[in-house]
């Protein structure tokens, strides 16, 4: 741009020079040296304007060019005897143009050369001219003034231009950078969205005020709402999701995430959907909680499979129970029926008494079996009261000839007394049956948080490892006269009390049964 302008100005300079030469005192006549100079000037200038940019843009080159201009112009003045004319104005033009591409110093130097040559030309023409003549006094300082002012102006313009160019370049780069960042952000957003959409769990992001800001396709599927329907709407307005909002509100207000919980919600069609979920908090950099992220899983299928498994288990119990009932009931029935048959042919009173006693034993046995089945099978609502386990166990032990030791002072639980009696009767009976005459039962009470742990420890024959894993299963027994329901009943009673039971045993060393029951709070 600058270069083109400069070339144009130089052509103006050349043409002006040739024009001035034409109208000078001697004029341009074919064959004269001035004519040759004009042609030479034109040709060289055309060659210069064709030179490559990298040379043209060098300050030293343009300096030499303008020096060349000054010399040519001076030669033209000399040859056309232009000193008497206004030819000197061409110097102004040359200096003006040179200052466009020169620094103040360069321009000043060109002005100096021009002044010296001009002064020399004038002196040559008018050897007795005074230095105070207007041709020296006004024109030469003017040359310098023009050179300084124009080069200063040009330089500051150049500086402005450069600044503007830099600014523009900076703007372009900035724009590119912004575009790049925007593209990356879009890419990242798309990538994140893809991840969220491909997760097999439902994801929902909710602000602190209940506004839903994100849902993924799985969440849409489970909840039955389309994205457009619930995005930017408030979860509080969705009746079926209220229990979920309560959990979220709790997590947000307490600042505690909820891990592995489950709940039942109603989907858009009003169907009950069990879901397992985690709620984690969305924290801003300043630790303020802005909302929460809900990740959930539809448990319908799992619940259905669990129900199938439970049914299968029930059927398998039913099968086991049928064969158990057949065996357990038929044995006492056989003795009742058998002794009744024998009674018919017996006259001896003692024998009759003996047979009748056997018959009654059989009926008692059947009665006990029915009791066991009922205890195991019924699900009655238990009414919990304050029960002192030490007193209860003492009452069980009293009629039995067995050594017992107690340990621990806090012995109160919340429970149903009859069930608990049954529980410890079964445990203590098991211990007694496992021990010989050196048997000793230790009962240790121990508080653990909200529970009272009761340990029933015997030094009996213990239980084989292979039997331990089935020990709480109903209809499983290792004893000759066991019904297979004793520990199953223990487990059921403990479960009914929302407690826990564990058993540890080593064959030949003894068995320890630990029972966790809810402790009486004031104990």
308-327 footprint of another protein as x/- string (CB under 8 A): ---------------x--xx
Roughly what angle, to the nearest 10 degrees, separates helices 349-377 and 300-343?
170
- Of the pair 337, 405, the CB lying nearest another protein is at 337
**Which region among 14-22, 140-148, 329-337, 448-456 touches another protein (by CB under 8 A)?**
329-337
Backbone φ and ψ of 105, nearest 5°: -60, -50
Examine residue 337 and tell whether it contacts another protein (CB under 8 A). Answer: yes
Task: Output the smallest distance, CB 510 to another protein, in A.
Answer: 20
Number of chain residues interacting with another protein (CB under 8 A) = 26
* Shortest separation between residue 422's beta carbon and another protein, angstroms: 23
Does residue 475 interact with another protein by CB under 8 A? no
Q: Interface with another protein by CB under 8 A: which range of 132-140, 219-227, 334-342, 382-390?
A: 334-342
SS3 state of residue 384:
coil
Tokens of 511: 């068995």
Q: Is 338 in the site for another protein (CB under 8 A)?
A: yes
CA distance 463 to 504: 9
When the beta carbons of 4 and 345 are compared against another protein, the nearer one is 345
Smallest CA-to-CA distance from 91 within 57, 140, 150 is with: 140
Sign for the pseudo-dihedral over CA of 48, 53, 57, 60: negative
Kindly provide the b/e burial profile for residues 222-246, where b requires at least 16 CB atoms within 10 angstroms of the residue's own CB.
Answer: bbebeeeebeeeebeebebbeebbe
Q: End-to-end CA distance of the chain, in Å? A: 99
Q: For the window 419-458, what string marks contact with another protein as x by the rule CB under 8 A? A: ----------------------------------------
- Binder among 202, 210, 332, 415 for another protein (CB under 8 A): 332
- Span of 90-98, 111-119, 357-365, 487-495 interacting with another protein by CB under 8 A: 357-365
Q: Report the 10 Å Cβ neighbour count for 72.
A: 20
Of 53 and 350, which CB lies nearer to another protein in the complex structure? 350
477 binding another protein? (CB under 8 A): yes
Cα 468 to its chain centre, rounded Å, is: 45
Measured CA to CA, the distance from residue 469 to residue 447 in angstroms comes to 27
Say whether residue 85 binds another protein (CB under 8 A). Answer: no
Residue 355 binds to another protein (criterion: CB under 8 A): yes
Describe the chain by its helix, strand, coil percentages, rounded to 5: 60, 15, 25
Q: How far is the CB of 488 from another protein (least distance, A)?
A: 16
- 383/220 Cα distance (integer angstroms): 44
- Please give the residue ranges that form the binding site for another protein (CB under 8 A): 323, 326-327, 330-339, 341-342, 355, 358, 361-362, 365, 477-482
């Amino acid at each position: 741009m600058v270069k083109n302008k400069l070339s144009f100005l130089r052509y103006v300079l050349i043409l002006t020079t040739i024009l001035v030469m034409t109208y000078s005192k001697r004029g341009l006549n074919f064959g004269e040296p001035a004519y040759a100079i004009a042609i030479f000037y034109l040709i060289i200038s055309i060659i210069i304007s064709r030179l490559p940019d990298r040379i043209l843009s060098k300050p030293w080159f343009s300096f030499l060019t303008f020096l060349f201009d000054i010399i040519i112009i001076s030669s033209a003045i000399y040859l056309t005897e232009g000193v008497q004319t206004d030819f000197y104005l061409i110097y102004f033009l040359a200096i003006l143009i040179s200052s466009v591409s020169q620094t103040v110093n360069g321009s000043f130097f060109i002005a100096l050369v021009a002044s010296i040559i001009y002064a020399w030309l004038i002196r040559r023409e008018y050897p007795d001219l005074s230095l105070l003549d207007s041709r020296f006094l006004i024109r030469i300082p003017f040359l310098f003034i023009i050179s300084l002012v124009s080069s200063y102006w040009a330089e500051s313009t150049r500086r402005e231009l450069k600044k503007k160019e830099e600014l523009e370049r900076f703007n372009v780069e900035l724009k590119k950078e912004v575009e790049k960042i925007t593209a990356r952000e879009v890419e990242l957003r798309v990538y994140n969205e893809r991840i969220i959409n491909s997760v097999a769990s439902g994801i929902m992001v909710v602000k602190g005020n209940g506004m839903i800001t994100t849902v993924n396709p799985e969440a849409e599927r489970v909840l039955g709402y389309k994205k457009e329907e619930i995005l930017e709407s408030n979860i509080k307005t969705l009746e079926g999701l209220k229990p979920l909002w309560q959990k979220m509100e709790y997590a947000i207000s307490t600042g505690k995430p909820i891990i592995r919980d489950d709940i039942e919600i109603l989907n858009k069609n009003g169907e009950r959907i069990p879901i397992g979920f985690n709620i984690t908090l969305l924290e801003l950099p300043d630790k303020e909680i802005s909302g929460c992220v809900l990740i959930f899983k539809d448990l319908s299928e799992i619940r259905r499979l669990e129900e199938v498994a439970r049914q299968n288990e029930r059927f398998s119990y039913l099968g086991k129970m049928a064969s158990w009932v057949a065996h357990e009931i038929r044995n006492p029935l056989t003795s009742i029926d058998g002794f009744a048959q024998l009674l018919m042919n017996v006259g001896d009173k003692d024998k009759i008494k003996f047979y009748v006693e056997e018959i009654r034993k059989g009926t008692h046995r059947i009665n006990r079996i029915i009791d066991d089945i009922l205890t195991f099978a019924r699900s009655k609502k238990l009414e919990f009261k304050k029960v002192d386990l030490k007193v209860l166990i003492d009452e069980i032990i009293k009629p039995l000839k067995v050594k017992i030791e107690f340990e621990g002072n806090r012995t109160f639980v919340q429970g149903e007394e009859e069930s608990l009696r049954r529980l410890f009767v079964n445990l203590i009976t098991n211990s007694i049956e496992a021990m010989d005459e050196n048997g000793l039962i230790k009962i240790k009470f121990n508080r653990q948080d909200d529970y009272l742990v009761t340990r029933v420890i015997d030094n009996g024959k213990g239980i084989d490892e292979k039997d331990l894993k089935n020990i709480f299963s109903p209809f499983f027994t290792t004893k000759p006269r066991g019904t297979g329901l004793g520990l199953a009943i223990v487990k059921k009673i403990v479960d009914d009390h929302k407690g826990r039971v564990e058993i540890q045993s080593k064959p030949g060393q003894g068995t320890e049964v630990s029972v966790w029951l809810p402790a009486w709070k004031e104990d």
